Amino acid sequence: MEDASDRIISLPVEDRYHTALQSYKKIYNESIEEPVSFWEREANVIDWFRKWEKVLDDSNPPFYRWFVSGKLNASYNALDRHIQTGKRNKVAFIWVAENGDEKIVSYDGLYYRVNKFAKALLDLGIKKGDRIIIYLPMILEAPIAMLAASRIGAAFSFVFAGFGPSAIAERINDSKAKLVITADGSYRAGKVIKLKEIVDSAIAETSSVTTVIVAKRIGLEVQMQEGRDLWWDDLIPRGSTYVRPEEMDANDPLFILYTSGTTGKPKGVVHSTGGYSVWVANTMKWAFDPKDDDRWWCAADIGWITGHSYIVFAPLFLGLTSIIYEGAITYPAPDRLWEIVEKYRVNLFYTSPTAIRTLIRYGKKYPEDHDLKSLRVLGTVGEPINPAVWKWYFEVIGGSRTPIIDTYWQTETGGFVLSPSIALGLAPLKPGSATFPMPGIVPKILDENGNEVKDGKKGFLVLNKPWPGMFLTLNNEPDRFKEVYFNRFNAYYSGDYAVKDNDGYFWLLGRADEILKVSGHRLGTIEIEDAIISSNDVAEVAVFGRPDEVKGEAIIAFVVLKQGFDISGDIIYSLRQHVRETLGPIYVPDEIHLVNALPKTRSGKIMRRVVKAVFLNEVPGDISTLENSASVEEIRQAIELVKKEALR
Ligand code: WTA
């Protein structure tokens, strides 16, 4: 494996930080050496209806169960307990939309609306143990629907509103949901997104859905199917409404979130109620050290895990005030984010490297036009952050005052697993490193044979011990859960490459599998291949990522059309359109190349690795098993042709 140390920028560990590092280490060591007493204490970040009998049941690995027999409710922890303890009038969310719309809701206001909607769900026959689908844009109805579902004990599955019909249908079918909650539409970069229409096409490919609730966001005229579709507002009961929060078991599922894996079928990551809640609340507290008076802005989408954990659950569990923004970050102008930071005097700001790289291109002028002095802490998530981008974020946005909290984690981990932690003791930062593990996390870097590599060497990142925020299983696929994550190394395998430097800092080096990170979105190459193949004109396809300065990775597809198909310019357009209409816009390949053959093994397996290497002008490695070596030359020629055309 290549030596990764050349990617590391080392900064000397200054003396004045030693105390902070020691303080972090003391707590970290306690979490590893005395896990039971550690979690006995830290689990009190959440209110429990009944205390657990055992902190961790590890009798059936890898199906670890935390806070066994403990009883709680997530909606109660997000709302009721704050109402009872003097935070009734505190602002829970400031909602801002790109067209200038704004709504501010207090904890009491949110509590009121969640109770009303929970009652509406009960009246529709939704009950504890049911599964529902939420397909909503960044509007207040999103957290309201999530909390109402949790209140009555129905596990929700949120589908990111950028997904297309097939992706939604697949998730509905896997969870056999009866109810879908959506909106008429949404705005993005000035365009109208017709969400209800997309849901209608998705439902046509499913059989379980009997009810669709439609929130009115933009006043779009939509087709309401008699007997199935209902307006959100029409369901809200009159008069005072209180729905008693269900007593949920710590290991009852809170939600299922589908994420891309290395096969075409997305994985339904199931999160628990107890362990997950304890994990997200604590990790947010440790890493960002939010104060009661702060304004927090996690600029992710609620439809991804980042939004679930750090827009909805953790900030509400901690009783914080958050911004929710609906819209594009450069609309109407590239200072959109900074305008919001200034106007709402945001203190803690959390976004992705792609967002920062996008804004860097527009220059310093835009942030410099705004007063960003309210910012105290900046965070990043979703992909490795280049040291130069880290420094720009630190200097231009943070005025060289704010620490950069680079949080490494995954849908499966529920919350941060590697991150600097202000509340525990902030070690000196190194631009581009997610620094150290959160309490309870034991990261190791292994070689192909499962042996630990030396410091400074690249390897596979695994987590050796269970932690409370760890997912329970994969929905309907316990065997896949074991196989994908635990079989290879007998520990939780993250699928990421990483390196640990001589000071013990961790550096993430990208995915080690068939997963792409495009603008921070996690996409499976095979999902995209399946979508392209389903277009009827395509015989074979290979999809892979190429490094991209802004998006992290760009999607490249090499396609062999079916025999007799007339190759014309339009096919590329229609293939892109096909991917957009099935999976959604984030999956559309940046480049599609048509070739007559793809390199294959003798057993007929397409060698994506070889196509990628040739494309990137790297040595393709061992191609002795290749059945049709002429195809390699053809790919080379196709690329040459593109280069020549680009020069013209
Ligand atoms: C990548 C997003 C480097 C990583 C929360 C991981 C990161 C995948 C970082 C999970 C980071 C996330 N530095 N890489 N700070 N954070 N990743 O499930 O490849 O959408 O495996 O969860 O994002 O993506 P997911």
CATH number for the domain that contains residue 562? 3.30.300.30
- CA 622 – CA 223 distance, rounded (Å): 56
Within a domain: residue 593?
A: yes
For residues 590 and 523, what is the distance between their CA atoms, to the nearest angstrom? Answer: 14
User: Would you say residue 631 lies in a domain?
Assistant: yes
Considering the domain boundaries, does residue 174 fall inside one?
Answer: no
CA 210 – ligand 1 centroid, Å: 36
Q: Could you give the number of structural domains in the chain? A: 1
Contact by Cβ (8 Å): 379, 422: no
d(CA 217, CA 181): 13
Among 409, 412, 506, 527, say which to mutate for ligand 1: greatest number of ligand atoms within 8 Å of CB. Answer: 409
Q: How far apart are CA 253 and CA 251, in angstroms?
A: 6
Whole-angstrom distance, CA of residue 422 vs CA of residue 435: 12
Tokens of 117: 């909607």
Give the CA count within 13 Å in the CB-facing half-sphere of 97. Answer: 18
Q: Are the CB atoms for 384 and 353 separated by under 8 Å?
A: yes
What is the DSSP secondary structure assignment for residue 218, as one 8-state letter? S
Q: Quick one: tokens of 304?
A: 């991804």
In a domain, 14, yes or no: no
For ligand 1, say whether the CB of 522 is within 6 Å of any of its atoms.
Answer: yes
Concatenating the DSSP letter of every residue in 15-37 gives: GGGHHHHHHHHHHHHHHHHSHHH
Q: Please, what is the average pLDDT of the chain?
A: 94
Say if ligand 1 is within 6 A of residue 434 CB: yes
DSSP letter string, 160-204? -TT--HHHHHHHHHHHT-SEEEEES-EEETTEEE-HHHHHHHHHT
Distances, alpha carbon 307 to alpha carbons 91, 280, 324, in Å: 18, 11, 10
- pLDDT for position 15: 55
Distance 6 CA to ligand 1 centre (A): 22
Check: CB of residue 221 under 8 Å from CB of residue 190: no
pLDDT for 85: 95
Half-sphere exposure of 616 (CA within 13 A, CB side): 19
Residue 543 lies in a domain: yes
Residue whose CB lies within 8 A of the most ligand 1 atoms, among 390, 522, 523, 553, for a mutation test? 522
pLDDT of residue 604: 86
- The token pair at 359 is 């804004």
CA 247 to chain centre: 28
Q: Which domain holds residue 622?
A: 519-647
DSSP annotation of 606 reads B
Residue 581 lies in a domain: yes
Is the CB–ligand 1 distance for residue 206 below 6 Å? no
User: In a mutational test of the pocket of ligand 1, which residue from 306, 310, 381, 507 has the highest number of ligand atoms less than 8 Å from its CB?
Assistant: 381
Q: Are 492 and 410 in contact (CB under 8 A)?
A: no
- Give the closest residue (by CA) to ligand 1 atom 22: 410
The atom of ligand 1 lying closest to the CA of 522 is 20
CA of 421 to the centre of ligand 1 (A): 18
Q: Is the CB of 553 under 6 A from ligand 1?
A: no
Is the CB of residue 545 below 6 angstroms from any atom belonging to ligand 1? no
Tell how far the Cα of 561 is from the centroid of ligand 1, in angstroms.
Answer: 34
Is residue 629 domain-resident? yes
**Cα separation of 77 and 83, whole Å?**
10
pLDDT lower than 70: segments of the chain: 1-17, 566-569, 642-643, 645-648
Distance separating alpha carbons of residues 94 and 322, to the nearest angstrom: 6
Q: Do the domain assignments include residue 313?
A: no
Strands (E), 425-581: 443-446, 459-463, 473-474, 492-500, 506-511, 515-518, 521-524, 538-548, 552-561
Q: How many C-beta atoms lie closer than 10 Å to residue 304's C-beta?
A: 21
Atom from ligand 1 closest to the CA of residue 515: 19
C-beta 462 within 6 A of ligand 1: no
Nearest residue (CA) to ligand 1, atom 3: 384
Index of the ligand 1 atom closest to the CA of residue 495: 21
- Indicate if ligand 1 lies below 6 Å from the C-beta of 258: no
Q: What is the pLDDT of residue 6?
A: 45
Which residue has the least CA distance to atom 23 on ligand 1?
382
The closest-lying atom of ligand 1 relative to the alpha carbon of residue 521 is 20
User: Is the CB–ligand 1 distance for residue 406 below 6 Å?
Assistant: yes
Distance (Å) of CA 35 to CA 20, 323, 432, 441: 22, 35, 30, 11
